[in-house]
Each structure stands twice: as C-alpha cells, then as structure tokens.
Structure 1
Amino acid sequence: MCAAPAGKSIFAWKTLNPELLLCNEAIGKRMGMLISNLRRCQIQPSATANVDSKILAEEIPQTANLVIVDAHCTDQSLLAKGDKAPGCFHHVTINSNANRQKRILANSAKIVAPQGYLAYMTCTYSTEENEQVSESVLSKFPEFQPVTVPHLEKYRSHLREIPCYRMCPQVRLGAGAVTVLFQNTSDGERNQLQQIF
C-alpha cells in the first residue's frame, strides 16, 4: 500500500523473493514513478494497482503473507533533509493523516492471511501518527499482535508498551522513520489470489 516511488517494494522483492509483488498506489499522479522504478529494476513477477485500499480489502481478503503500509503522513522527517514540510506539526494536519492511516491500515489488515504480517511505517515523528495508530490496529483487530524485532530493540519507543521502533536522524539512520510489525495470529488457510487486475 502507498507503494510509490517503489523503494520499499524493490527492497521487499530483493529480500523476500515473493511469488508476486503487488504494488498499490491510490494517488494516480504517483503511478508513473512507481511503474518506471519497477521496470528499471526489473522487478518480476510484479503487478501494480491504482485503487483505494478498501477495494483491495473487498476483492482479495486474506491473500497476502505480508502487507507493507508505507503510510502517507505529515512528512516531518523532510525537515531533517533540509526540505520544507509546511504545516507538518499542525494538529489538524496530524489528525487528518492519522485518520487516513487508520483507514488504510484497517483495510490492509483484511488482506493479511492467517499467520501473515502487516508492516506499518511512516517518516514522521508524531505519536498520533505512529504509536496511537498502531494501538488502533490492535484495538480493532485483536487477532493481530505486535512482533518484537530483535535487531531493532535499541530503537524501541519508550512512549508505549508495544514494540514500536523509532529510527531518528541523530543516530544516523536517515532522516527519520517509525515502524511497527504486526502478525495475524488467527488460524486458517490463506485465500488464493484471483486475477482481478
């Protein structure tokens, strides 16, 4: 989800060697760069979609072993790069993004197969867009449990009990990012992906 410009998609393909990499980007004007980067890096087998996450939740429920949500956010980390991010600390902007993230994550959770994973990440610092959004996933989907990632433990957030990891620019880990990994602990079989594209 939120796949453009494809950096995390390409990394996932190279690292995990999936049967199929499906990259969805709901914002139409970002599709060109997504497709271009996938072609340039010869990512196959892959497919792209330009639909709202709700459509995928309805059409391909419980089909994915892993759903990565690189969520649209207030982009507060752009400031560490020296870029501008007007309004990125305004409470209205933060709340709007947090609500959008909750909706995307709720739809994404429905796509995750039993025993599959949901990876959530942002490039912003607000607890409303990170820890609080993660807590909403756990509240709405009790079958999902947060997963401890041992090699990220030194970056674990002290702001909540759940294992949420904050990679900050002062520790030379890029401009900043936050991530949480969830597992769908329910029993059952993964649904087969039908041809819908």
Structure 2
Amino acid sequence: MPQPVKLILDMCAAPGGKSIFAWKTLNPELLLCKEVIGKHMGMLISNLKRCQIQPSVATNVDSKIFAEKMPQTANLVIVDAACTGQSLLAKGDKAPGGFHPVTINSNANRQKIILANSAKIVARPGYLAYMTCTYSTAENEQVSEWLLSKFPEFQPVTVPHLAKHRSRLTAIPCYRMWPQDKLGTGVFTVLFQNTSNGERNQLLPDLLDLARFMYL
C-alpha cells in the first residue's frame, strides 16, 4: 500500500485476528473494529488489549452509519463477511442448512449490503478486502461480480503470491484456498481498489479524538 495508512476499518472484526494482523503489518494511525454481534465484543476487546493494539476502537455501530458519517476515509476496509460457513465440514463440524438455497441467498444479500456500505467508506485510492469461509459461488464470485457492477470505480487487484489459487469460476482475479491445499478448511478472498479520482476525506483528527475516549 504505497500511501501512508491513516485508517483501517475491520467491518466484521471479532475475534480480532485480522484486525491485529492488519495493524501489525500496515501500522495505521487508527484501527476501527466493528462487530455487530454484541456477545462477541468482549472477545474482540480482550484480544486487542492483550496484543496492545493502540490506538484502536471497538464498536458495534451499523455499517450503514459508517457509510453515512465517514465516506471515503479508510485506506483499507476488511470485510470477512458472515456466510453459510460451509467450510466447517472440513473441520468435522456440522453445517446445518449451510447448503440450502434459501440460506445461501439470505447470506449473499446480507454480504451485498455490507459490501455496498464498505465501498462507500474506502478512500481514494484505498482498498477493500472481501473474504468468506464458504464454498458457495453465490456468496463468493457472484457477490464480487455484483460489487463491480454497482461500484465501477472499484477494480479487482491481482495478488501474485496467490496465483496458483485463482478461482476458475469467474474472470475476476479472486482466490480460493481449498482444504486439500492444507491452508485451512476453505477460504475465498478478493481485493478491490477504489480507482476514482480525488482526495480522501480528512476525518482522522476527529476519529483520533474519539479513540481517546474509547481507548483499548
């Protein structure tokens, strides 16, 4: 990421692993961690404190509010979206309903809402990283294609070190790590960049003031 990283927003943050990795790798001036499931907040905050991730803010504010109040501010928005969790099968767990068309469609629609709000938050020329732990094309490649159709200012980014994992189910450069790759139970990921012209909005001083009151 060539420009200084002012702000990273992890849109589906709990338990915090991706947030912590992003903070340690990119060293942002502020890390915002959103988790909509209230019972997961304690685990997220505990992990951020344990790893001394500062300054950081944990919140359960809806993604729509972020999109309205802080458009085009984040250098990186991470969306590890809630999904059908079909990869749980590779762990030996059950995935009840995970392959039912109604469940898949419901999750895909929710993912589109989260991604649409997230896209509005990405600064120019910032990045949007999308990932799931499901095998469903409707939640992965098709959601990615939908994002590009709705937000043409975003373009997919080729990730060279994932080249051998590139999905053959779409022309978009996105990536699937299957259980047989021995890289986990199954992961899908794609990286987008906001290629529109213009400057990022400058909300960071206000957000840093907020962080002083919500310091972790």
Task: Give the TM-score range, shorter chain.
Answer: over 0.9
- How far residue 105 of structure 1 moved from its aligned partner, in angstroms, is 0.2
- How far residue 49 of structure 1 moved from its aligned partner, in angstroms, is 1.3
TM-score, structure 2 as length reference: 0.89
1:17 aligns with 2:27: yes
- Specify the code of the residue in structure 2 equivalent to 1:33: M
- Percent identical across equivalent pairs? 81
Instruction: Classify the secondary structure of the residue corresponding to 1:173.
Output: coil
Instruction: Classify the secondary structure of the residue corresponding to 1:61.
Output: coil
Distance 1:118 1:169 in 2: 25
Distance 1:151 1:29 in 2: 36
List alignment gaps of at least 5 residues for structure 2.
1-10, 211-216
- How far residue 173 of structure 1 moved from its aligned partner, in angstroms, is 0.5
Report runs of 4+ in structure 1 exceeding 4 Å deviation: none
Superposed CA deviations along residues 94-120 of structure 1, whole A, max 9, x for unmatched, are 000000000000000000001100000
Match of 2:142 in 1: 132
- Specify the code of the residue in structure 1 equivalent to 2:152: P
- How far residue 128 of structure 1 moved from its aligned partner, in angstroms, is 0.2
- How far residue 6 of structure 1 moved from its aligned partner, in angstroms, is 0.5
Q: CA RMSD in A?
A: 1.0
TM-score, structure 1 as length reference: 0.98
Match of 1:31 in 2: 41
1:66 aligns with 2:76: yes
Equivalent pairs, count: 197
- How far residue 50 of structure 1 moved from its aligned partner, in angstroms, is 0.6
- Specify the code of the residue in structure 1 equivalent to 2:98: C
- How far residue 175 of structure 1 moved from its aligned partner, in angstroms, is 0.8
Distance 2:150 2:157 in 1: 17
List alignment gaps of at least 5 residues for structure 1.
none
- How far residue 30 of structure 1 moved from its aligned partner, in angstroms, is 1.2
- How far residue 26 of structure 1 moved from its aligned partner, in angstroms, is 1.2
Distance 2:202 2:104 in 1: 37
